[in-house]
Amino acid sequence: MKNIIMDFGFYYEIAKKKIKLKLWSAEYSKGYLYFFLNNVADVTEEQYNEYSKMIDEL
């Protein structure tokens, strides 16, 4: 899994663009990002809290 792009910002920007293009709902995007954050991303507790705030603001 370490070879996959692990940059949360990359996935966050994709989700924002899909919401803007009305391809994804905000709720779907939040679920997608939380899944990535909880199951794929290797982040510290501080990063997790920061990213959670970003997701909630979508």
pTM of the predicted protein model: 0.79
- Distance of alpha carbon 40 from alpha carbon 25, whole angstroms: 22
* Tokens encoding 21: 């293009």
Q: Write down the pLDDT at residue 4.
A: 54
Q: Write down the pLDDT at residue 1.
A: 44
Over the stretch 18-53, which tens digit does the pLDDT of each residue have?
999 999 999 999 999 999 888 877 788 898 899 999
Q: Write down the pLDDT at residue 13.
A: 94
Task: Pick 40 or 56 by higher pLDDT.
Answer: 56
Domain ranges of the chain: 8-57
